[in-house]
Protein backbone atom coordinates (compact mmCIF):
# COMPACT_ATOMS: atom_id res chain seq x y z
CA UNK A 1 0.00 0.00 0.00
CA UNK A 2 2.84 2.38 0.82
CA UNK A 3 4.26 2.00 -2.73
CA UNK A 4 0.90 2.84 -4.30
CA UNK A 5 0.50 5.90 -2.07
CA UNK A 6 3.89 7.31 -3.11
CA UNK A 7 3.25 6.49 -6.77
CA UNK A 8 -0.09 8.36 -6.73
CA UNK A 9 1.42 11.31 -4.88
CA UNK A 10 4.36 11.60 -7.31
CA UNK A 11 2.07 11.02 -10.32
CA UNK A 12 -0.20 13.94 -9.45
CA UNK A 13 2.73 16.19 -8.55
CA UNK A 14 4.43 15.57 -11.91
CA UNK A 15 1.15 15.76 -13.82
CA UNK A 16 -0.09 19.02 -12.27
CA UNK A 17 3.26 20.80 -12.65
CA UNK A 18 3.62 19.82 -16.31
CA UNK A 19 -0.06 20.48 -17.07
CA UNK A 20 0.16 23.94 -15.47
CA UNK A 21 3.16 24.73 -17.67
CA UNK A 22 1.25 23.59 -20.76
CA UNK A 23 -2.00 25.41 -19.96
CA UNK A 24 -0.19 28.64 -19.28
CA UNK A 25 1.74 28.55 -22.54
CA UNK A 26 1.44 29.02 -26.24
CA UNK A 27 3.37 26.71 -28.52
CA UNK A 28 3.12 28.27 -31.98
CA UNK A 29 6.10 26.23 -33.22
CA UNK A 30 3.97 23.12 -32.71
CA UNK A 31 0.39 24.42 -33.01
CA UNK A 32 0.77 26.27 -36.32
CA UNK A 33 2.49 23.46 -38.27
CA UNK A 34 -0.16 21.01 -37.03
CA UNK A 35 -2.93 23.37 -38.18
CA UNK A 36 -1.24 23.90 -41.54
CA UNK A 37 -0.64 20.18 -42.10
CA UNK A 38 -4.17 19.15 -41.15
CA UNK A 39 -5.74 21.94 -43.21
CA UNK A 40 -3.64 20.96 -46.22
CA UNK A 41 -4.57 17.29 -45.92
CA UNK A 42 -8.25 18.18 -45.80
CA UNK A 43 -8.18 20.83 -48.53
CA UNK A 44 -8.86 23.62 -46.05
CA UNK A 45 -7.07 26.84 -45.19
CA UNK A 46 -5.37 27.77 -41.94
CA UNK A 47 -4.37 31.02 -40.27
CA UNK A 48 -1.88 30.52 -37.48
CA UNK A 49 -3.28 27.79 -35.27
CA UNK A 50 -6.82 28.03 -36.69
CA UNK A 51 -8.17 25.71 -39.39
CA UNK A 52 -10.85 27.50 -41.38
CA UNK A 53 -13.95 25.56 -42.39
CA UNK A 54 -17.40 26.52 -43.61
CA UNK A 55 -19.02 24.56 -40.77
CA UNK A 56 -16.86 26.17 -38.11
CA UNK A 57 -13.25 26.88 -37.31
CA UNK A 58 -10.96 24.45 -35.51
CA UNK A 59 -8.39 25.78 -33.07
CA UNK A 60 -5.25 23.78 -32.42
CA UNK A 61 -4.65 24.73 -28.79
CA UNK A 62 -1.66 23.60 -26.71
CA UNK A 63 -3.85 20.80 -25.39
CA UNK A 64 -4.53 19.60 -28.96
CA UNK A 65 -0.87 19.03 -29.75
CA UNK A 66 -0.62 15.61 -28.10
CA UNK A 67 1.39 17.02 -25.21
CA UNK A 68 -1.31 16.24 -22.61
CA UNK A 69 -0.97 12.54 -23.40
CA UNK A 70 2.81 12.91 -23.18
CA UNK A 71 2.39 14.58 -19.80
CA UNK A 72 0.32 11.65 -18.55
CA UNK A 73 2.98 9.28 -19.85
CA UNK A 74 5.73 11.29 -18.13
CA UNK A 75 3.79 11.33 -14.87
CA UNK A 76 3.46 7.55 -14.95
CA UNK A 77 7.01 6.76 -16.02
CA UNK A 78 8.79 9.18 -13.70
CA UNK A 79 6.60 8.32 -10.69
CA UNK A 80 7.70 4.70 -10.67
CA UNK A 81 10.89 3.35 -9.11
CA UNK A 82 11.69 1.10 -12.06
CA UNK A 83 13.16 0.93 -14.60
CA UNK A 84 16.35 2.94 -14.19
CA UNK A 85 16.41 6.56 -15.38
CA UNK A 86 18.10 5.89 -18.75
CA UNK A 87 15.37 3.43 -19.70
CA UNK A 88 12.68 5.77 -18.39
CA UNK A 89 13.96 8.58 -20.60
CA UNK A 90 14.12 6.28 -23.63
CA UNK A 91 10.62 4.96 -23.04
CA UNK A 92 9.31 8.48 -22.52
CA UNK A 93 10.93 9.84 -25.70
CA UNK A 94 9.76 6.92 -27.84
CA UNK A 95 6.28 7.12 -26.34
CA UNK A 96 6.03 10.89 -26.78
CA UNK A 97 7.06 10.77 -30.43
CA UNK A 98 4.52 7.99 -31.00
CA UNK A 99 1.85 10.04 -29.26
CA UNK A 100 2.56 13.14 -31.31
CA UNK A 101 2.31 11.15 -34.56
CA UNK A 102 -0.81 9.31 -33.40
CA UNK A 103 -2.30 12.66 -32.41
CA UNK A 104 -1.96 13.92 -35.99
CA UNK A 105 -4.20 11.06 -37.14
CA UNK A 106 -6.62 11.78 -34.29
CA UNK A 107 -6.92 15.46 -35.22
CA UNK A 108 -7.39 14.55 -38.87
CA UNK A 109 -10.24 12.16 -38.03
CA UNK A 110 -11.94 14.69 -35.74
CA UNK A 111 -11.85 17.44 -38.37
CA UNK A 112 -12.84 15.02 -41.14
CA UNK A 113 -15.80 13.94 -39.02
CA UNK A 114 -16.81 17.57 -38.63
CA UNK A 115 -16.52 18.15 -42.36
CA UNK A 116 -18.51 15.02 -43.27
CA UNK A 117 -21.19 14.92 -40.58
CA UNK A 118 -21.42 18.45 -39.27
CA UNK A 119 -19.77 20.51 -36.60
CA UNK A 120 -21.96 19.00 -33.85
CA UNK A 121 -19.92 15.77 -33.93
CA UNK A 122 -16.52 17.41 -33.41
CA UNK A 123 -16.57 17.66 -29.61
CA UNK A 124 -17.81 14.09 -28.96
CA UNK A 125 -15.24 12.76 -31.47
CA UNK A 126 -12.52 14.87 -29.88
CA UNK A 127 -13.24 13.53 -26.40
CA UNK A 128 -13.76 9.92 -27.45
CA UNK A 129 -10.64 9.84 -29.61
CA UNK A 130 -8.53 11.41 -26.86
CA UNK A 131 -9.56 8.79 -24.31
CA UNK A 132 -9.07 5.98 -26.85
CA UNK A 133 -5.59 7.26 -27.74
CA UNK A 134 -4.64 7.63 -24.08
CA UNK A 135 -5.90 4.15 -23.25
CA UNK A 136 -3.97 2.69 -26.19
CA UNK A 137 -0.71 4.34 -25.21
CA UNK A 138 -1.09 3.26 -21.57
CA UNK A 139 -1.64 -0.35 -22.61
CA UNK A 140 1.32 -0.20 -25.01
CA UNK A 141 3.48 1.44 -22.35
CA UNK A 142 2.64 -1.25 -19.83
CA UNK A 143 3.36 -4.21 -22.10
CA UNK A 144 6.46 -2.72 -23.74
CA UNK A 145 7.91 -1.68 -20.38
CA UNK A 146 7.29 -5.19 -19.07
CA UNK A 147 9.20 -6.55 -22.08
CA UNK A 148 12.11 -4.13 -21.63
CA UNK A 149 12.46 -4.64 -17.87
CA UNK A 150 11.38 -8.25 -17.53
CA UNK A 151 9.02 -7.23 -14.72
CA UNK A 152 5.78 -9.21 -14.95
CA UNK A 153 3.63 -7.38 -12.39
CA UNK A 154 2.82 -3.68 -11.95
CA UNK A 155 3.80 -3.86 -8.28
CA UNK A 156 7.32 -4.64 -9.50
CA UNK A 157 7.53 -1.06 -10.81
CA UNK A 158 6.64 0.45 -7.44
What are the pLDDT tens digits along the chain (158 aa)?
A: 787 888 899 999 999 999 998 887 878 889 999 999 999 999 999 999 999 998 889 999 888 898 988 999 999 999 988 888 998 899 899 889 988 999 999 999 999 999 999 999 999 999 999 889 888 878 887 887 788 777 777 676 66
Q: What is the pTM of this model?
A: 0.84
pLDDT of residue 75: 93
In sequence order, the 6+-apart residues with CB closer than 8 A to the CB of 75 are 10, 11, 12, 14, 15, 18
pLDDT of residue 71: 93
Contact 106, 130 (CB under 8 A): yes
The number of angstroms, rounded, from the C-alpha of 154 to the middle of its chain's C-alpha atoms is 22
Enclosing domain of residue 33: 2-156
CA dihedral over 152, 83, 71, 13, signed as positive or negative: positive
Tell me what pLDDT residue 97 has. 92
Number of domains in the chain: 1
Amino acid sequence: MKGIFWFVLKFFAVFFVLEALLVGSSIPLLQEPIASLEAGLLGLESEGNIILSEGGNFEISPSCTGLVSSIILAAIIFSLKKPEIKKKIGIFLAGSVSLLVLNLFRIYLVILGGELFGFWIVEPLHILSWFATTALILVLWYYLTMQITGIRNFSGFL
